[in-house]
Amino acid sequence: MIVPAMTTDDSPRSDKVDQILQGALQEFLSRGYAGTSMDRVAATAGVSKPTVYHHFQDKEGLFCALVQHIAQVRFYGTLTPCPCAGPPVTTLRQLLEHMLESIAADDEYQDFVRLVIGESGRFPALARLFIIHITKPGIERVQSYLADHPELGLPDPVATAHILVGTVVYVTLTQHILHGQDLIALPQKRLVNALMALLLAKATPASEMSPDLEEVITGADDTL
Amino acid sequence: MIVPAMTTDDSPRSDKVDQILQGALQEFLSRGYAGTSMDRVAATAGVSKPTVYHHFQDKEGLFCALVQHIAQVRFYGTLTPCPCAGPPVTTLRQLLEHMLESIAADDEYQDFVRLVIGESGRFPALARLFIIHITKPGIERVQSYLADHPELGLPDPVATAHILVGTVVYVTLTQHILHGQDLIALPQKRLVNALMALLLAKATPASEMSPDLEEVITGADDTL
DNA sequence: GTCTATATCTAGATAGAC
DNA sequence: GTCTATCTAGATATAGAC
């Protein structure tokens, strides 16, 4: 018996199936759909090629099953954590910072985004799975939080959630996925400060803003 | 002599080279890098395969030359038009709407984005070319406009430009590139309204806002 | 269910004629 | 410079033994 190369221990459907999905994950994430060969998938999974074809109809079937599985299990809700309790101003800042940092630190998620976007023209159904299981839950969690805190004075929590999440995703895309970190200099704190300033400008006019609140908005230190 | 793969070349090209680039564009945009065969490139270009290899070192060289050419010539500055004259509030609204609409209408640009992001893990240098020639000029044009209009009262035009462009790109990504238009409903006007409201909240406190300006901010009609 | 071995095709890249 | 014809490696998928 061959020991699986990379076991992250999931649901015990079938040992071989999980092995194959693990191998397919590695290969498809690093080489793309067309660049991946079933030979390499089988080798990386530690099984033979006919075993792969016994469990999955063909290359396309394996790819679709993999993306669906990953979107639902591995990366479900990756985009946003559960907002913790506390004053909205602090919570929102932490939320944005956590989103930026967790995506920036997750190379596998970045590869998954590359794969899904890259194949979205040829596999539109998979792109829509990504929207359903990852993008949409993230946006909805933010917009629920915004809607639950009317003291923020936001006229449109739904659109505002798109602006917040959109800005975070865009910056991650350019800085990390497209390797533009040194080409477009924009420190995380400066971006979050700007977002918070826009969000809170209406809720708290400058004339009513206390020094304490001002500090919370602009951040603890000003190393821009 | 073989044409260098990565040069800034403005000299007139031979007919065949343009034919090959045109064929390569069609094939690579619709099939991706690994999914494209040199046979099909040659056939689509209307030349023979050895002719392709005479002008380009290999498949990778052709691909890099193509992306560089497209980023510099075909899509340079696609992201944002030149801001026209007029009051900043109106101009900004038109700018955002024009960005959203022009990207949404340009299928070839969407395919190019899919290609560059999809290959950004294996061709990081091409992703950086995309940043340099397309992303960065767009952001800089917006931030210059914002900085040139201090009456908007924006504390950080650079970060604000990222928020505006980022929101537009993110919405385009989810709605069109990832085919999520019917999954995430967010009418363009509603998004632009929310962006304008955030931008102008600080510049014009509600107490000083005239009915006319209010209408400009929230849009002419309210078909949300 | 899983393997060894293989059929069939298409890929990238090139010789050599003109 | 451009073509026809071809080489070789690697691709998807399967037959058939265990």
Please indicate whether, in this complex, the C-beta atoms of A128 and B183 are within 8 angstroms of each other.
Answer: yes
My answer on whether B178 and B98 are in the same domain is: yes
Asked if residues B21 and B66 have their Cβ atoms less than 8 Å apart, the reply is yes
Asked if residues A34 and B35 have their Cβ atoms less than 8 Å apart, the reply is yes
Q: Answer whether residue A60 is part of any domain.
A: yes
Q: Strand D nucleotides below 7 A of a protein CB?
A: 1-6, 10-16
B104 CB near a chain A CB, below 8 Å? no
- DSSP codes of every residue in A82-116: PPPSS-HHHHHHHHHHHHHHHHHH-HHHHHHHHHH
B103-158: pLDDT as tens digits: 999 999 999 999 999 999 999 999 999 999 999 999 999 999 999 999 999 999 99
CATH of the domain at B33: 1.10.10.60
My answer on whether A206 and A114 are in the same domain is: yes
The pLDDT score that the predictor gives to residue A81 is: 74
Which pair of tokens denotes residue A172?
């991650």
The pLDDT score that the predictor gives to residue A203 is: 59
Residue located via tokens 């910056």: A171
My answer on whether A97 and A203 are in the same domain is: yes
The pLDDT score that the predictor gives to residue A178 is: 98
My answer on whether B94 and B65 are in the same domain is: no
A64-123: pLDDT as tens digits: 999 999 999 999 877 777 777 889 899 999 999 999 999 999 999 999 999 999 999 999
Among the listed residues B100, B95, B97, the one whose alpha carbon sits nearest the alpha carbon of residue B82: B95
Q: C-alpha angle A147/A174/A140, rounded to 5°? A: 20
The percent of residues in chain A predicted with pLDDT above 90, rounded, is: 75
B81-101: pLDDT as tens digits: 777 788 989 999 999 999 999
Residues 7-46 of A with CB under 7 A from strand C: 14-16
Q: Answer whether residue A223 is part of any domain.
A: no
Asked if residues B75 and B112 have their Cβ atoms less than 8 Å apart, the reply is yes
The pLDDT score that the predictor gives to residue B2 is: 30
The pLDDT of residue A216 is above 70: no
My answer on whether A161 and A64 are in the same domain is: no
Domain that holds residue B113: 88-203
My answer on whether A64 and A106 are in the same domain is: no
Please indicate whether, in this complex, the C-beta atoms of A184 and B117 are within 8 angstroms of each other.
Answer: no
List Cα–Cα distances, A37 to A34, A43, B126, in angstroms: 8, 10, 24
| Nearest-angstrom CA–CA distance, A171 and A189 | 12
pTM to 2 decimal places: 0.90
Rounded to an integer, the average pLDDT of A206-218 is: 47
Asked if residues A38 and A52 have their Cβ atoms less than 8 Å apart, the reply is yes
Question: Is residue B53's beta carbon less than 7 angstroms from any atom in nucleic acid strand C?
Answer: yes
The pLDDT score that the predictor gives to residue B84 is: 75
Q: How confident is the model at residue B224 (pLDDT cuts 50, 70, 90)?
A: very low
- DSSP codes of every residue in A116-133: HHHTTTT-HHHHHHHIII
Question: Is residue A47's beta carbon less than 7 angstroms from any atom in nucleic acid strand C?
Answer: yes
Domain count for chain B: 2
Please indicate whether, in this complex, the C-beta atoms of A121 and B198 are within 8 angstroms of each other.
Answer: no
My answer on whether B108 and B194 are in the same domain is: yes
Q: How confident is the model at residue A11 (pLDDT cuts 50, 70, 90)?
A: very low
